[in-house]
Structure 1
Amino acid sequence: MKTYIKERPIPFSSDMVRALLQGWKTQTSRTRGLERFNGWPDWKIPLGEDAWELCHFTEEEPGIWRAVFQDPRGECPPGLDPVVKCPYGKPGERLWVREPWKEQSLGDCRKAGVKPWLDRSVLRRRQAMFLPHCASRILLEITDIEVRKLKSITAEEARAEGIEAIFYDEETSATGWKNYLEPESMCIRARDSFFTLWDRLHGAGEAEKDPWVWMIKFKVLEFKGIIK
């Protein structure tokens, strides 16, 4: 009997797709599904000497997590559901990669006066979120998931996020990492490079907010096709 393995879509930027293809990227951090824990205002407001404090998440069963609060008034703030399901699945399940792509439409070809599918001079850029499953060329398998604060990431994990090394000294092993906000400069530490990448993808100053994230580790199962 054939075993069914769930596959879910996950978008990646062009830089991160290149990192996947180069073998640099084996981890991704995401906030989807954790918005209520990162944006809930009430439990952050001190009440007398006490304030709600979200300490960590525990995995109750594969893919299901519970927020653990430290507060004498109860298990969690009133009105906040502490249980969250990981929208990306659980270890052993798969993710098919959505990436920025280009397509050719009959309407665009008529306007440009070119023959569709024969003349590739007319291509429309499309966002990763619109890539259909059948056109995905990269398949990943989840190997581990944690829920942690973004700034708890280690140097090794930051490198696994797919950041690019742009300088290396063989004598000293000193490495310079890409600054994704200021390409003309570089970062000395891998973690700093990753935080510039985070801000580029999510907005200036977002890394400093130190949100809770899913830290998802994976291995690449398949590369197929070429999207031009």
Structure 2
Amino acid sequence: MKVTPILFSGPMVCALLREIEKPGTGKTQTRRVLSPDNIRFMRGGINEPIVKCTPTKEMLAEALEGARNMRLIEHVLTWDCPGAGYVMANLKYAPGDLLWVRETWCEGPIGRDGVVEDWREYFYRATDHDVMGIDDGDGFSVLNADGSLKSPWRPSIHMPRRASRLTLEVTDVRVERLQDISEEDAIAEGVSRIATVGGAGWQDYSGGVGFGDPRRSFLSLWDSLNEARGFGWDVNPWVVAVTFKVHRVNIDALLEKLTKYACEDGVDLSDRRSGEQSDPALGAAPVQALGEAGQAP
């Protein structure tokens, strides 16, 4: 079992929460561009140790040029490449892994006019829409030099593990071209249903009136996040498609429950995957042991 953070935008956090509240209506898949951030090349020969290395963008692009016979067995990806021959790589994600969600956040409490209005430890921009400023410790909001309220929100990349409220249990991993996404998978990506002139439809994330096809909705969502980075829909990049179950629980609270379950039931606690982010105390203890929505029964 490997434990790693994963970033989501506000709308996608809402889609994850929607899946918890009403299963089958929210987000249970995510696609990430195949990049040096989520792949390691594996090199070695007969009677030689396997060495992992992080490819440069240029190395990866060359290896993926004309890639054929893409195969994924657990977390080991292999393919044939005319320029590089046989390629073997290690993916960042594999079934059984746990991903703790990073989102835009801030610390509490929140106060106005000398009165603390909310004592919660953490707030989340995706759902806490009434948070206006930072409390100075005496119930007053911190101001900028021009007298305006100082924004309390911190980027998702800086969210500490202790503040995370959602954990994803990986159930399947595939590598495919972006445009290979099916209608069913587009819905699983969490695109929002809306009412349109023609009836029920799907949100246009570029600001239009909506679509009748969830794949077009996903296209607009994808381009809103990735086109400016050079990985738009028309580029049709290779992506890692991760399917997961959503659990409304902090990662460390979940791990504590899993460890307790494993110890009580005599589950083998040996680590199934190597890596500095692995949790050797967890092994094969199933998340289902925690009951509904990943919470302690």
What is the TM-score of this pair, normalised by structure 2?
A: 0.57
Higher relative contact order (CA 8 A, sep 6+): 1
State whether structure 2 residue 45 is matched by structure 1 residue 40. no
Aligned partner of 1:164 among 192, 214, 229: 192
Contact 1:6–1:94, Cα closer than 8 Å, also in 2: yes
CA-to-aligned-CA distance 1:44-86 (integer Å, 9 cap, x gap): 5xxxxxxxx2124212x421101234xxxxxx414x8822221
Aligned partner of 1:54 among 31, 56, 67: 67
Cα displacement (A) at 1:42? 8.6
Q: Any unmatched runs of 5+ in structure 2?
A: 20-25, 40-55, 109-132, 143-149, 251-297
SS at match of 2:248: strand
What is the aligned partner in structure 1 of residue 83 from structure 2? 77
Equivalent AA in structure 1 for residue 74 of structure 2: P
What is the aligned partner in structure 1 of residue 78 from structure 2? 66
CA distance in 1: counterparts of 2:78 and 2:63, whole angstroms = 19
CA distance in 1: counterparts of 2:62 and 2:218, whole angstroms = 27
CA distance in 2: counterparts of 1:100 and 1:140, whole angstroms = 17
Stretch of structure 1 that moved more, 187-196 or 112-121: 112-121
Equivalent AA in structure 1 for residue 164 of structure 2: S
What is the aligned partner in structure 2 of residue 207 from structure 1? 233
Equivalent AA in structure 2 for residue 83 of structure 1: M
State whether structure 2 residue 190 is matched by structure 1 residue 190. no
What is the aligned partner in structure 2 of residue 19 from structure 1? 15
CA distance in 1: counterparts of 2:15 and 2:59, whole angstroms = 28
Change (3 A) 1:194 1:43: closer
State whether structure 2 residue 199 is matched by structure 1 residue 180. no
Equivalent AA in structure 1 for residue 29 of structure 2: Q
SS at match of 2:195: strand
Cα displacement (A) at 1:118? 3.4
CA distance in 2: counterparts of 1:38 and 1:175, whole angstroms = 45
Change (3 A) 1:223 1:36: same
Cα displacement (A) at 1:137? 0.2
Equivalent AA in structure 2 for residue 55 of structure 1: R
CA distance in 1: counterparts of 2:196 and 2:135, whole angstroms = 47
What is the CA RMSD across the aligned residues, in angstroms?
3.1
Equivalent AA in structure 2 for residue 94 of structure 1: L
Structure 1 residue runs of 4 or more that deviate by more than 6 Å after TM superposition: none
CA-to-aligned-CA distance 1:110-169 (integer Å, 9 cap, x gap): xx9963273456543221111111100001100000000010000000000000011279
Aligned partner of 2:3 among 7, 22, 35: 7
What is the aligned partner in structure 2 of residue 115 from structure 1? 136
CA distance in 2: counterparts of 1:157 and 1:131, whole angstroms = 28
What is the aligned partner in structure 2 of residue 129 from structure 1? 157
Contact 2:166–2:246, Cα closer than 8 Å, also in 1: yes
Contact 1:66–1:84, Cα closer than 8 Å, also in 2: yes
Aligned partner of 1:220 among 246, 251, 274: 246
Q: Any unmatched runs of 5+ in structure 1?
A: 45-52, 70-75, 105-111
Contact 1:103–1:123, Cα closer than 8 Å, also in 2: no
